[in-house]
Amino acid sequence: MIFVKIHFKKSAPMTFAPVSRLLWPVMRIILLATVLTGVWLRFEGIGRKPVWYDEVATFLHLSGKTEAQLGRLYDGRVLHVGELLQEYQGGARSEGAIISEASFGSIPDVVRAVATDEPQSGALYFTVAAAVVAGTDDPARVRLLSAVASSVSLLLLGLLAWRLFDQKIALAAVALAAISPLELRFAQEARPYAMCVALLLASALAANRASHTRHLPSWLLYALCLTAALWTHPIALLAVPGLLALAIKPKPNREPLLRRGALHTGWLATAAAVTAWLPWALVCSSAYPKIQRLTSWSSEPIGVVGLARGWLGAITSLFFRPRGEGGIFPSDFSVPAISVVSILLAGAVVAIAAAALVSITRHPDRSTRRYVLLLALVPWLAFAALDITLGGRRSTVPRYLIPAWAGLELAVAYWMMRSDSWPRARHLLLMLLLALGAATAWRTQAARGWWDTDVPRLLALRETAAVIDAIPGAIVVTDTPPLNLLELARYLHPETSFRLGPTAATSLADEEWSRAVLIAPSQSLFDAMSKSATERGTRLEKWRSDGVGPALWRVVAFAPEVGSRWQFERQHLATQLEFDLRRSRLYARTDHFRFDPDKRPGHLHVAAMSMLPEE
């Protein structure tokens, strides 16, 4: 009998690729798509939002004019809207204008205007804007500077994160910043915040490179970038501790004397940048009372509960926005449900931020963890200490915390892309944050205005302008402050006339009284107008009874003749119907802030019949 011995070769156990390695190609595609979407959103519809109060100040200073110069026109003279905008808004177009020529001031005039009116803002942004967008009168062209700066900041953030961590963390950090509601918000505003963020990131990248190369050109580049950031906005001072942590990084395997010299070089470069900013610091110091008055709204106490809510809102808005104008949830959701879900989401974001900051403390490189922690915590802790001790809401204002944005984004990206415990859960959490941010961006694009400003006030301005433009040859009488005046003028027809100041009541000609509209007057101007109207046998009537918009009055007769009463009622009804038609068109496209007669006609009603003269 033959026995056959069969030998079986023992095979190796079956192995599977790590799940994180299989998920990374998919995640990379999602992250890249998010970055590209974020860049596109920075430019999409950049001219759609209305020019609001702070941007009015930007255009005023770009014209080389100050509020005091505009205040000299408050002497009762006749001013046309088109001429006013041409002179004090750089040729900005009003609602009815077709073309206009830009008239931005020279760079010295622009710097002088900024130093006079808002020294708390740096001069560099306005200087660059005046040089780059000279010759244009389109708000979108001026805002383009912020959109470009915000897009460049994404590239700089990615390069910085790649040098500090690795490629995966860099891509995650850029994706978070690309879809961030706060970053998108300030990327489309004609203000210096986006440019300041880009220069701070350039400073950090230069500091990191200089600490490794120890070459003089690298140190000069770092000092130059930090100087530019400080001249763009003084809030950049809050990023200096974090930048120092990168700049004074000791290089290993060097003699102690050389290490000490490298530390001194980092301090000297930082000190040189701060010294170069001292001229503007002296301007701010000399204008401190005015700065205090301009920022007094941020020192109004809101209590501990208000501070807690503001802190939650500021942290949450960096990643997504659950409620409010442009929020994720529709406005028809019940308030209790929105409140509960918003609190839960805000709590989750706070937990993520806390876990990320704890995680960064375990990073092996000391300069990296110090930079991220100081960048994220110093701005908030500085303003929170002021708010708790002196009262106020400074620590809840997102633009006061712009140096901390990159710090939180780097910490969160580092925590979510680490390969230690629960990597899949943290990767899914990153996808959820990006999805909520994308939903916020989609909702914000369709919002009626800037989501963190007073949207009802902006709508009221448009509606008030519709009322005034419905009056043929209307003459607006007011003594409202200059920036409020310019903000309203942007909504009016260019041929509409103004009479400004306390003497406007006595400057009106007899034939102008029937077309005069009094808006947002001081008590003295209102009394003067009432007295002058009584002397002419007329009176002031409240223009609207719905309470929308600024206070508005029109002059009407005491007792018109019987034969002319039907004419008066018919003219008044036609004026009111035209106003209601304009308002219905307004609400048909409030997202674009444009009248469009081809859209939803809306409803017509007569809401101001109480203005008819008494029997």
- The per-residue DSSP string of 373-441 comes to HHHHHHHHHHHHHHHHHH---GGG-GGGGHHHHHHHHHHHHHHHT-SSSSHHHHHHHHHHHHHHHHHHH
Judge contact between 20 and 423, C-beta under 8 A: yes
Measured CA to CA, the distance from residue 33 to residue 44 in angstroms comes to 16
- State the pLDDT at residue 456: 67
Which is it for strands 475-478 and 497-500: parallel, antiparallel or unpaired? Answer: parallel
b or e along 577-608 (b: 16 or more beta carbons within 10 Å of the residue's beta carbon)? ebbbbbbbbbebebebbebeeeeeeeeeeeeb
Three-state DSSP class for 543? coil
Whose CA is closest to 126, among 147, 140, 105? 105
Measured CA to CA, the distance from residue 13 to residue 289 in angstroms comes to 77
Three-state DSSP class for 516? strand
Per DSSP, helices labelled H in 476-595 are 482-489, 504-507, 523-535, 562-588
Tell me: domain 455-557, CATH 2.30.30, correct? Answer: no
Q: How many C-beta neighbours within 10 Å does residue 73 have?
A: 17
Find tokens 């038609």 and name the residue: 581
Judge contact between 164 and 153, C-beta under 8 A: no
Q: Report which secondary-structure segment, H or E, holds 117.
A: helix 107-117
Question: CA angle, 379 as apex, 359 and 150 as ends, to 5°?
Answer: 85
Weakly modelled stretches of the chain, pLDDT under 50? 1-19, 92-102, 255, 257-258, 545, 558-615
C-alpha torsion sign, points 71, 73, 75, 79: negative
pTM score: 0.83
Per DSSP, helices labelled H in 448-550 are 455-469, 482-489, 504-507, 523-535
Residues in CB range of 220: below 8 A, 6 or more apart: 269
Sheet holding 538-542, edge to edge: 78-80, 497-500, 475-478, 516-519, 552-557, 538-542
Q: How far is CA 90 from the centre of its chain?
A: 21
Measured CA to CA, the distance from residue 173 to residue 475 in angstroms comes to 54
Measured CA to CA, the distance from residue 249 to residue 219 in angstroms comes to 13
Residues in CB range of 273: below 8 A, 6 or more apart: 222, 223, 224, 226, 227, 230
- State the pLDDT at residue 397: 92
What is 196-228 written as a DSSP string?
Answer: HHHHHHHHHHHHHHHHHH--HHHHHHHHHHHHH
Beta bridge pairs of residue 80: 497
Q: For the CA atoms of 220, 225, 228, 229, what is the dihedral angle to 10 degrees?
A: -140
Judge contact between 212 and 175, C-beta under 8 A: no
And the tokens for 110? 């622009």
Domain ranges of the chain: 33-64+105-250+260-446, 455-557
Judge contact between 374 and 245, C-beta under 8 A: yes
Q: What share of the chain is helix, strand, coil (3-state, %, to 5)?
A: 65, 5, 30
Measured CA to CA, the distance from residue 287 to residue 123 in angstroms comes to 15
